[in-house]
Structures are given as C-alpha cells and as structure tokens.
Amino acid sequence: MPSVTIIIPTYLDSDALARTLEATDWRGAEVVVASTADDASLAPVRGAYPAITWVEAPRGRARQMNAGAAVSRADWLLFLHADTRLPPGWRAAIADADRRGSIAIGCFRFALDSRTWFARIIEAGVRVRVRLLGLPYGDQALFVRRSQFERAGGFAELPIMEDVDLVRRMRRAGALFRSPLPAVTSARRWERDGWSRRTLRHLMLISLYFCGVSPERLVRLDRGRMSHP
C-alpha cells in the first residue's frame, strides 16, 4: 500500500474542517492541515486532533497546499478541501492508481450533499467535463504522485484556478486516474449564492481563463470568492 499524505487547506472554516475530520477514516495516512497564522478559530480543532500535523502559510489555497506538501515524504499527496469528505474506499483507489505507472494525477467522482435536482445536474455536468476534457477540479480531492508534483514545481501561486493549472501540467507528465467513488462536497456555497448564479459564475470564470484572462483579473471578477472564506 503506498504511503499517503492528506493535505487540507483551510481559512476561517473550522466548523467544516471539524466535520470532515470526524467523518473520514484517516488510519494509515498522514494528515496535514495548512492554515493561516491569523485563524484563531482552529484552536478547538487542533486540541481535538493532536496527531495531525498543523502548518501555517500566507493566505491562498495554492500557498497553503504547497506548505502542506513541503512537510510530506509520502508516495502520494491528496489535496482535500475542508468541506469535502472522502469515500470509505479512498485508499484502495490510490493503491490502484499507484500500480499503474503511467498515472500522474487522480481524482474522485464529484458529488454534492444535497437532494435537489440541481445538484444532480451539476454532478452530471462535472462527469461530462472530466470524461471529455480530462479536467477535474480541486473539489474532487485531487491526488498526485509526490515525485512528479515536486518535479512540476507544485502549485503555481495563483489566486484562482490553481487546481486547473496543476491538472493541465500533471496531465503532460502522465495519465489521469478517475475513481468512480464519490468525494462528497458540501452544497452550502450553492445554497448561499443560488444554484444558477454560482454555476453560471463558475462557467464564466473558467471560460475567461481558457480565453487567456489572467487569474489576477479573474479573482477581482469573482466577488463571491473575495467576500467569503
């Protein structure tokens, strides 16, 4: 079984982090939480999970995930959002990917913890995107071979689209492994922003990114990301 480090970036999201840590079986894996120095809300969670490695970095998902990766010596790095839960069989999926030498990066199937029909439409759209374009996002719990991640220089320190940038670079280094197991993400942001509004905003941002608009410009357009952690 390959060794795995699970890296969770978080910013002012201690409640979601606590739920994720409680809901997932971490046995056999190192867990690293990458937070910011000013996030005092994490104190109770840190006290409840003394076995977890806690690192601090400047705010920014890319910077925080790179800081978490820097303390790992595992074979695989799994980058997990604080509001996403791994499926029970996640270890077997990574072991399967590890046996295939051509695999550089993998992902789980995207799922939302909502029963609304709009959630099912979004999930179906993500499946089509990953199948046709080979482009999973960070909320699918991306996992990468550490050696190739380091060779690629880790995450580019972008304010947005850092996951898309990494996937595209890793795909040039090797194949994408798609696990059918669901990584379940909280639907709270869609419920807060509105299902249609948030989905259309995502589509607008990714379209502009592929048209050459800089991530710095995109993050100024993404008011929701700027206003909420």
What's the pLDDT at 223? 63
Instruction: Give the model's confidence band at 221: pLDDT under 50 very low, under 70 low, under 90 confident, else very high.
Output: confident
pLDDT at 227 over 50: no
Instruction: Select from 133, 146, 125, 127 the least CA-distant residue to 190.
Output: 125
Question: Cβ(159)–Cβ(215) under 8 Å?
Answer: yes
> SS3 of 26, please?
coil
What's the pLDDT at 1? 87
Instruction: Give the model's confidence band at 37: pLDDT under 50 very low, under 70 low, under 90 confident, else very high.
Output: confident
Q: What is the mean pLDDT of residues 68-91?
A: 96
136-166 tens-digit pLDDT: 999 999 999 999 999 999 999 999 999 999 9
Instruction: Give the model's confidence band at 226: pLDDT under 50 very low, under 70 low, under 90 confident, else very high.
Output: very low
Amino acid letter, residue 149: F
Greater confidence, 53 or 38?
A: 53
What's the pLDDT at 178? 97
User: Tokens 């894996």, residue?
Assistant: 29
User: Tokens 């939480």, residue?
Assistant: 33
Query: Quick one: tokens of 198?
Result: 């948030």
Residues 6 or more apart whose CB falls under 8 angstroms from that of 77 comprise: 4, 5, 7, 69, 143, 144, 146, 149
What distance lies between CA 228 and its chain's CA centroid? Answer: 17
The percent of residues above 70 in pLDDT, for the chain, comes to 97
Query: Quick one: tokens of 173?
Result: 């280094």
Instruction: Select from 58, 65, 59 the least CA-distant residue to 34.
Output: 65
Query: Quick one: tokens of 102?
Result: 């051509």
> What is the C-alpha separation between 138 and 122, in angstroms, rounded?
15
pLDDT at 228 over 50: no
Give the Cβ contact number of residue 204 at 10 Å: 13
Least confident window among 90-94, 153-157, 163-167, 223-227: 223-227
Instruction: Give the model's confidence band at 176: pLDDT under 50 very low, under 70 low, under 90 confident, else very high.
Output: very high
Residues 6 or more apart whose CB falls under 8 angstroms from that of 101 comprise: none
Give the sheet arrangement for strand 84-85, strand by strand: 53-56, 30-35, 4-9, 76-79, 143-145, 103-112, 175-185, 84-85
pLDDT at 66 over 80: yes
What's the pLDDT at 220? 85
Domains of the chain, each with CATH number or no CATH: 4-186 (3.90.550.10)
Instruction: Give the model's confidence band at 119: pLDDT under 50 very low, under 70 low, under 90 confident, else very high.
Output: very high
